[in-house]
Chain A
Amino acid sequence: MSAPRLRSRWPVLVFLAPAVLIYTVFSAWPLLDTLRLGLYATDARGVVSFAGLDNFRTILVDAQWSAEFWNAMGNNLKFFGIHMLFQNTIALVLAALLSLNGLKGAGTYRTLIFMPTLLSVVIIGFTWQLILSPLWGVAERLLGVFGLAHLFAPWLGLEESALNTLSMMSVWQFVGIPMMLIYAALIAIPDEIIEAASAEGASAWRIFWEIRLPLILPTLGLVTILTFVANFNAFDLVYAVKGALAGPNYSTDLLGTLFYRTFFGYQSQVGSATMGAAVATVMFLVILCGVGAYTVLVQRRLQRHTF
């Protein structure tokens, strides 16, 4: 589709200016200003001096820093993997079911299923810690109903399982968002296409796989990218449940918590704005690479269908 020929440039400016202005002043400029600090170093007296790429070298090469950094990276990748596997699959299934024609109570289901997303991390952290607590025994009792009580373990406190448990808590929290996005895309598919296929004898399953799913691929792409960005910036839930130290033994440490600890300090550890900015820059680059890779490899090949 060719771009419209406008009689004047004014509409573009009017539409763009307010958003770009507020964004630049209150978001972009502060972020860039602080990222710039990544090129500086602070000494004990608080004097900031230009240090080039020293901070980045430290993060990637220094034994102690790089161990923490790569640990956080690895954890973040696991975190993302669990979200792709569980969050987006469940969201797809729920959205597909909810968009079925004439489903009674779809609105109610949708509203209720979306509720966890509305809760603050304080509630989510509190309630899941209560459920999973070995002392107050809710999860253990529930497992016992199915005869599986012996499977219970203090998952949030064990190195092997803490990250997976927190990831699943996060999946539980955020399923609503991809569900709503996929749902909005599914209901945009005109009925005629579905009816035509159904009239030709296609089963619901085939219709889903061969018609509905391909048509919503751009939205699935959007969901993937949003999940990626959100996961690599994730911080709140881990912070609320485990604190900035992200125990046990840094097994729940994500790039977000590493950044927070470095930039703002933690307990006796004094914060370093310059190192923190360097960590943030690396986070940004990681996300940029992910988004870039997606755009180049996937986005270009997706067909966008308009009706």
Chain B
Amino acid sequence: MTLSRKTLLAALIAATTATVAPHASAGTLTIESWRIDDKALWEETLLPAFTKANPGITVKFTPSAPPEYNSALNARLTAGTAGDLITCRPFDVSLDLYTKGRLTKLNSQPGLENFPDSAKVAWQTDDGKDTYCMPMASVIHGFFYNKKVFADLGLKPPTTEAEFFAVLDKVKAGGKITPLALGTADQWETNQIVFTSLGANYWKGEDGRKALIAGKKKFTDADVTAVWETMAKWAPYLSKGYQAQTYGDSQNLFGAGKAAIYPAGSWDISYFQQNGLKDFGAFPPPVRKAGDGCYISDHTDIGMGINAASKNKADAEKFLTWLASKAFADLYTNKVTGFFSLSKHAITVQDPVAQEMVGWRNKCKSTIRLNAQIMSRGQPSMENELWTVSSQVMNGKMTPKDAGARIQAGFAKWHKPAAQ
């Protein structure tokens, strides 16, 4: 484009020109994130706390619509218009950003020592040598239950599967309340909240997960397909027409007190509290047999890294150091209820339900979501496949055996250890 053409165009559309060129200057930082849910918290509580501790640095929290975050961020990173601090999704998505040179290496970042290895692994290269995001928080998965419904029917939170189904039967017999608030329309809940949470008790958490990656275990093994068998048994306890029930519908159903049990991630604690349901409790995924050791899905969910093209890396590093501090850990865990700081700092969790959930770490062994590391890397992506087969099993369209076979076949297609 010649200069005269550019001027001509500019003149043509002069009326609309409102140039706001973002020139990064020392003292300002922009955060990219998908957590629109937390925008108010960041602006009113977290960022003021940072600015107080680090005067002279202004930080802006600019979240994007969650479904578009990955794609919009990629586009902006490629063109160089992304913010200084990037909220990192765990494992492969951020690894991909790092491999493409979009995130800086954080190996010598002060503050990293405050995190255990199990937290850092979500934001490290496969060989563990390089870290590219500062861990922030994890989410824990389990079940919420309506205390009033339970009290009315004389029920206690179940610990074994037999007890779990007994509770469901009792609620169903009562007639008015839906036993289980879950739908398959959005598909992701069946994997991220149900399969990987319930299943941890079946494949024994980290042991099973690592064995699957190493090829020593297969998805066709009895203990893995048993998870789908159990899930298939849930169908009669779901609402009529659950195939068209979305996540929002499930939230509304449980929040309105019309359901007894809700398969939950800890992030939903604040949602229900803000929307009127005060009296609910939580229990961990039931174990298969009485006396079994229990496992919980304690998933490293959110971290933060620095844009390799940022013009203000110095201040960004200060921000990351602050993220590793006890002050931030305390604020984040207690303000963004349901997200638990991954740091080693000892924090008192104030919210009772959150406290209950984080307390499970003491009696149960923690594991991350089964397919989060490595397994979703190839084609077909195991995450998408698990969404599809888990939903189909619950819809009664696929047998648990076929589900296991399909996942294993897809995994073996690109992952050598699994092909043996």
Interface, chain A (partner B; CB < 8 A): 21, 25, 44-46, 64-65, 129, 132-136, 153-159, 239, 242-245, 247-250, 260, 264-271
Contact = CB atoms under 8 A, between A and B. Distances in A.
Interface string B230-274: 000000000111111110010011000000000000000000000
Contacts of B187: 243, 245, 247-248
A270 B378 CA distance: 9
A247 B184 CA distance: 9
B211 to A, nearest CB: 20
Most buried by B among A242, A247, A249: A247
B93 A247 contact: no
Given A44-B99, A133-B249, A265-B70, A245 B241 contact: no
Given A134-B240, A245-B387, A64 B380 contact: yes
Nearest to B380: A64
Contact of A154 (B242, B252, B376): B242
B395 interface: yes
Given A264-B70, A268-B372, A134 B245 contact: yes
Nearest to A165: B244
Contacts of A249: 388, 391-392, 397
Given A135-B239, A135-B253, A264-B71, A270 B387 contact: no
Q: Across chains A and B, which 7 residue pairs bring their CB atoms closest together, nearest first? A: A134-B241, A157-B243, A154-B244, A157-B244, A154-B241, A264-B71, A269-B381
Contacts of B413: 64
A264 B413 CA distance: 22
Interface in B385-420: 387-388, 391-392, 395, 397, 410, 413
Interface of B: 1, 5, 67, 70-71, 74, 91-93, 96, 99-101, 183-188, 239-246, 249, 252-253, 371-372, 376-377, 379-384, 387-388, 391-392, 395, 397, 410, 413
B391 A247 contact: yes
Given A64-B413, A132-B244, A248-B184, A267 B249 contact: no
A249 B190 CA distance: 13
Contacts of A45: 99-100
A243 B186 contact: yes
A267 B384 contact: yes
Most buried by B among A44, A133, A248, A268: A268
Contacts of A158: 243-244
Contacts of A133: 241, 244-245, 249
Most buried by A among B67, B241, B382: B241
Nearest to A265: B70
Most buried by A among B93, B244, B371: B244
A129 B246 contact: yes
Contacts of A44: 99
11 contacts: A46-B100, A64-B413, A129-B246, A156-B244, A157-B183, A157-B244, A247-B187, A268-B371, A268-B372, A268-B382, A270-B377
Contact of B92 (A46, A248, A264, A270): A270
A92 to B, nearest CB: 32
A146 B91 CA distance: 53
Nearest to A42: B100
B244 to A, nearest CB: 3
Nearest to B389: A249
A203 B379 CA distance: 63
A251 B210 CA distance: 33
Nearest to B89: A268
B260 to A, nearest CB: 15
Given A155-B244, A157-B184, A245 B410 contact: no
A244 B244 CA distance: 17
Contact of A270 (B96, B101, B242): B96
B93 A153 contact: no
A247 B244 CA distance: 11
Contacts of A136: 249
A268 B239 CA distance: 30
B269 to A, nearest CB: 23
Nearest to B5: A21
B49 to A, nearest CB: 32
Contacts of A134: 239-242, 244-245
B244 A159 contact: no
A269 B376 contact: yes
A129 B253 CA distance: 15
Contacts of B1: 25
A121 to B, nearest CB: 12
A129 B185 CA distance: 11
Contacts of A129: 244, 246
A65 B391 CA distance: 21
A249 B402 CA distance: 14
Contact of B243 (A25, A248, A265, A270): A248
Contacts of B99: 44-46
Most buried by B among A65, A244, A248, A267: A267
Contacts of B245: 133-135, 154, 157
Given A248-B184, A249-B397, 18 more contacts: A21-B5, A46-B100, A64-B380, A133-B249, A135-B241, A135-B253, A244-B67, A245-B384, A247-B185, A247-B391, A248-B391, A248-B397, A249-B392, A268-B372, A268-B382, A268-B383, A269-B381, A271-B71
